[in-house]
Amino acid sequence: MNKIIFAPLILLLSFLLISPLAAKGQANDSTLVLDKLIQKVLTQNPELQSSFQGWEASKTRISQQEALPDPTLGLNLMNLPVNSFALDQEPMTGKQISLMQPFPFPGKLGLKGDIARSESDITLHQYHELKNQLIKKTKQVYYDLYYIDQALATVGSNQELLREFVKIAETRYGVGKGIQQDVLRAQVALSKMIDRELKLRQQREAMQAQINTLIDQPADASLGRALASEPKPLEYEFELSSLIQQADSTSPMLAAWKTAVKQSGQQVDLAQKDRYPDFAVGLAYTQRNELQNGMAGYDFVSAMFNVKIPLFYNKKQNKKVQENRIRQSSVEYRYRNVANSVEQMLQQSLTNLEKHRRLVDLYKTGIIPQAEESLESSMAGYQNDKVDFLSLLDSEMTLFEFRLDYHRFVADYHKAVAELEALTGTDL
């Protein structure tokens, strides 16, 4: 009878050596490549395309702001007598055409163009920041998908293992060496594992829908399996100070705020220019008819020069300067707040990166091998009636959870790298 029980245990021991590689073997059927997925997001994402078009539109505002105001064309009837409305009755009557061109005070148009150029630069930085965020989101969802795929593979392998446990428990019970409660425990554990698989598949569908939304595809479009490399020892350790410097020079979000601070200064300069008067220059040509009394009606030319007087500058222009200075101070404070937030997020992401890297190494080299040895020992003890079935099942489930934790830490490590890359605006 012992040989009947021992044979399935041999199969289980072999399975323990094969199961860590099972997920890799299954991943070759259809693989979702991260780089290709990111490329699809960058070329197909509607939000990113909309942002790009917004930047293209903002560039057209520069020349609009630098152009002179439109001239005014006038067509007038001058001094028409109301008793006859005749054009040849009075010597002052005439038909006039005029052209008036406004001119802002020198320097105003250049400042308006600079403000529009800064606005376009901000829009461009926002476009690049959106690109960074979409890449980060794609990577993080991808690595969540990787975890689910690995979890599904691990759950599937564990179901096979639990089915063998059920057979072993039934065999021992059939020959009088086990109890029915062991059979029931194994069956309950198997049912829980099947339920877990169903929940994981639901989560995968949700992740699949998120990825398909990013690439503008139907939510239920099928996707291959996600893969992730194990964290490798870095050639150098990241330092917070160097990451902060990197973010300060390459982060699109910080660049956008720096440009906003610059733009607020330009708006102050423009408000100061508004203290000075705008003016307009015009020409008019008046045509007169020969009068009824035979007097010749000579045509004449007129020239005009108008100046807008900022008479109420204490209530208007000066207040506008004050308003824009306050806004400039507000933008500077907001920029400092964003920069501080970036530093805090860099610190947190760096801490998470190091934590997950150490956990991956710990689980790979210590915890999982020890759990595998513990399960092998429990199997041997169960064969010799030194370990009960509950302890054997507990060892198996503990190893299962450790393997899931390992894949979660691998995914979290890569997500932390993606977060750092998004904050610094560069590929680390």
Q: What is the token pair recorded at 144?
A: 């969540």
Q: Which residue has the higher pLDDT, 105 or 233?
A: 105
Q: What is the pLDDT of residue 6?
A: 46
Q: Which residue has the higher pLDDT, 379 or 387?
A: 379
Q: Which of 175-179, 305-309, 340-344 has the lowest mean pLDDT?
A: 175-179
- Residues 58, 80 within the same domain: no
Give me the DSSP letters along 268-299.
Answer: HHHHHHTTSPPEEEEEEEEE-PPPTTS-----
Query: Measuring CA to CA, how many Å separate 382 from each of 73, 171, 175, 217?
Result: 103, 13, 15, 52
How many CB atoms are located within 10 Å of the residue 120 CB?
20
- Residues 117, 95 within the same domain: no
This prediction has a pTM of: 0.82
Q: Which residue has the higher pLDDT, 226 or 23?
A: 226
- Cβ–Cβ < 8 Å for 111, 298: no
Q: Which residue has the higher pLDDT, 331 or 233?
A: 331
Q: What is the pLDDT of residue 29?
A: 59
Q: What is the token pair recorded at 298?
A: 């000579």
Distance from C-alpha of 140 to C-alpha of 119, rounded to nearest angstrom: 31
Confidence class of residue 110 from pLDDT cuts 50, 70 and 90?
very high
Q: Quick one: DSSP state of residue 363? A: I
Q: What SS3 state is found at 316?
A: coil
Decide if pLDDT at 102 tops 90: yes
Instruction: Please give the average per-residue pLDDT across 124-133, as a whole number.
Output: 94
Domain of 281 in residue numbering reads as 69-103+277-309
Query: Measuring CA to CA, how many Å separate 106 from each of 61, 76, 270, 275?
Result: 20, 31, 11, 12
Closest-CA residue to 175 (of 1, 7, 388): 1
- Residues 281, 253 within the same domain: no
3-state SS string over 151-189? HHHHHHHHHHHHHHHHHHHHHHHHCCCCCHHHHHHHHHH
- Residues 165, 295 within the same domain: no
Instruction: Please give the average per-residue pLDDT across 399-407, as a whole number.
Output: 87
- Residues 191, 77 within the same domain: no
* Beta pairing partners, 307: 279
Distance from C-alpha of 217 to C-alpha of 227, rounded to nearest angstrom: 21
The single residue listed with the structure tokens 């979660």 is: 408
Express as a percent the part of the chain with pLDDT over 70: 88
Decide if pLDDT at 22 tops 60: no
- Residues 374, 340 within the same domain: yes
Q: Are strands 225-226 and 94-103 parallel, antiparallel or unpaired?
A: unpaired
- Residues 303, 402 within the same domain: no
Q: Which of 62-76, 157-171, 351-365, 368-382 has the lowest mean pLDDT?
A: 157-171
Choosing from 294, 309, 324, the residue where a domain stops is 309
Confidence class of residue 25 from pLDDT cuts 50, 70 and 90?
very low
Q: Is 75 exposed, middle or buried (0-12, 13-18, 19+ CB in 10 A)?
A: exposed
Confidence class of residue 154 from pLDDT cuts 50, 70 and 90?
confident
Instruction: Please give the average per-residue pLDDT across 290-296, as a whole number.
Output: 78
Q: What is the domain-level CATH number for residue 224? A: 1.20.1600.10
Decide if pLDDT at 396 tops 90: no
- Residues 267, 225 within the same domain: yes
Decide if pLDDT at 56 tops 50: yes
Task: Please state, rounded to an integer, the average pLDDT across all residues of the chain.
Answer: 84
- Residues 86, 226 within the same domain: no
Choosing from 262, 287, 309, the residue where a domain stops is 309
Domain count, the chain: 2
Decide if pLDDT at 407 tops 60: yes
- Residues 297, 345 within the same domain: no
Confidence class of residue 268 from pLDDT cuts 50, 70 and 90?
very high
The single residue listed with the structure tokens 């440009």 is: 259
Q: What is the pLDDT of residue 281?
A: 95
Q: Which residue has the higher pLDDT, 12 or 383?
A: 383
- Residues 74, 174 within the same domain: no
Q: What is the pLDDT of residues 221-242, one digit of tens each?
A: 888 888 877 666 544 467 888 8
Q: Is 269 exposed, middle or buried (0-12, 13-18, 19+ CB in 10 A)?
A: middle
Q: What is the pLDDT of residue 27?
A: 41
Q: Which residue has the higher pLDDT, 13 or 58?
A: 58
Confidence class of residue 177 from pLDDT cuts 50, 70 and 90?
low
- Residues 264, 398 within the same domain: yes
